[in-house]
Amino acid sequence: MNGFRLRLTFVLAILVVCSLAAHAPAWAQDGWSFVLTPQVWASHIAQNGLVAASSLPAPIFLGNQVFTDTFSARNSDPVDTLDPQWGLQLAAQKGRWTFAGSFQYVNFETRSDIFYTPSFGLPVAAPLGGVQFPNERVAQEFVNTTRMDMDFSASYLFADVVPNRLDLSLGAGFKFIYVSASREYGNLSQFGASVATTPGASPADGRFPGQGLYAICKRDDCSDEHFSDRVKTKSWLYGATIPMSAIYHLTSDAKWLLPFSVTPFIGAETRDDQDVVYALTPNVTNLNPNAPNLFGPTVKRLDGTTFAYGVTGDATVRWIVNDTLSVYAGMRVQYINGHETYLAYGPLLGMSVRFGGK
C-alpha cells in the first residue's frame, strides 16, 4: 500500500508540473527556469552494507571454555533481483548555474545464510533436541531495509568545451541518508529452533538462552544480557558531494545527449544497532553461575560513528523532446563504504519538465 501511494504521489506531481509548464507564472519569467525530474532507479543491491553483517553470537560451552566465533554469515543476497528506488529532483537554473534538491526512497530485503563454523570443529547439541554439525546451515537472516536520501547541490556549466560537442559541469553539495532496518531469523534448523525457544536457559549453566537468537546488552561487561527474536537498526550517512558531469552531443542540434556523471561522497556514518552484540570475548576460568563479569568487558559492536566515502556514477542517453520536456534512460552504479560496504547497480529511467525562464 505504501508503495502504491508513493507512485500515485509521483504521478500527481508530474501532472501538476506539466500544468505549470503550460502556464508559467509571472514570477518565473525573470530569467530563472525550474526543472522537475521524477525518476526510478531499478537497483540490484549486491551488498547491503547499510546494515551490520549478520551475527548469531550465542556462546557455546565446552569444558571450561566459552566459544563465540562459532557462526558465520555467507551469501548475502537480495530477496528480489531489482528494487525500485523512486526519486524526485527540483532544480532552479539561471544562466550557467543550477541549484538542485532531490529526494529518493527505496525499501528492500536481503537474506544471508548462517552456518555453524566452530573453531573447535565439533558438533553441538541443543537442550531441546537437534544436533548441529560443522559447516551446516543454522538459519537464514532476513533484513528489511528502508532508505531515504536527500541531496542538495550547486553546479556551474562550462558550455562548449568542445564547440557543439562537449559540455562540462562541476559543483559541490551535501548528501544525507537515513536508513532503518528490521532483522530476524527464519528457516531455522532443528538445532536453531531449539536454541531460539529454550525456556529458562542461561549461559551460566552452559545452556543457550531462549526468546530468540540475537544477543543484546547495554553494559560492556554484558551482565544485563538478554535475547530477542527480532532487532532493529538505524543509520545516518552525511557529508559533502562533488557532482561532476560531461555531456556529449550526439547530434548537431543537441536533441540527443550522452551525459556521464560522477559524484564522489566524503563524510561519516553514524549507526545505532540498539545494543546488539556481534562478538563476546570471554574472560572466565570456570562456569560458576555466580561469577561476575562472565564475558568480560570486551563486547564487540558494529555501530557508532565512522568515516564514510563513496561514489555514484550515471551513464544515460537523453532525448530533448522540446523546450519543456526531455526523457532519459541509462545505468547507475553506487558504492558506499562506512562501517561496511554498500554496492548497488541497475537501470535508470526518468523525465524532466521545465517551466519558467525566458
Which tens digit of pLDDT belongs to each residue from 288-320?
A: 444 444 445 467 778 899 999 999 999 999 999
Amino acid 352: pLDDT = 96
Which secondary-structure segment (H or E) carries 333?
strand 325-337
Q: What residues does each domain of the chain span?
A: 2-356
Alpha-carbon distance of 259 to 248, in angstroms, equals: 6
Nearest by Cα to 271 from 184, 175, 181, 335:
181
Which secondary-structure segment (H or E) carries 11?
helix 2-22
Q: Which alpha helices (DSSP H) does 64-170 contain, by range?
A: none
What is the average pLDDT value for the chain, to the nearest integer?
A: 80
Is there a contact between 272 and 289 (Cβ–Cβ < 8 Å)?
Answer: no
Alpha-carbon distance of 191 to 137, in angstroms, equals: 10
Is there a contact between 258 and 303 (Cβ–Cβ < 8 Å)?
Answer: no
Going by pLDDT thresholds of 50, 70 and 90, the confidence category of residue 322 is very high
Torsion region of 204: left, alpha or beta (phi above 0 gives left; psi -120 to 50 gives alpha): alpha
Is there a contact between 169 and 244 (Cβ–Cβ < 8 Å)?
Answer: yes
Residues facing 331 on adjacent strands = 315, 347
**pLDDT average, residue stretch 213-231:** 77
Nearest by Cα to 112 from 213, 218, 217:
213
Which tens digit of pLDDT belongs to each residue from 114-138?
A: 888 877 777 777 666 678 888 888 8
Stated pTM of the model: 0.81
**pLDDT average, residue stretch 341-355:** 95
Is there a contact between 329 and 40 (Cβ–Cβ < 8 Å)?
Answer: no
Which tens digit of pLDDT belongs to each residue from 122-179?
A: 777 766 667 888 888 888 889 999 999 999 999 999 999 999 899 999 999 999 999 9
Share of the chain above pLDDT 70, in %: 75
Going by pLDDT thresholds of 50, 70 and 90, the confidence category of residue 93 is very high
Which tens digit of pLDDT belongs to each residue from 32-66?
A: 999 999 999 999 999 898 888 776 655 554 444 45
Phi, psi of 14 (to 5 degrees): -65, -45
CATH classification (class only), 2-356: mainly beta
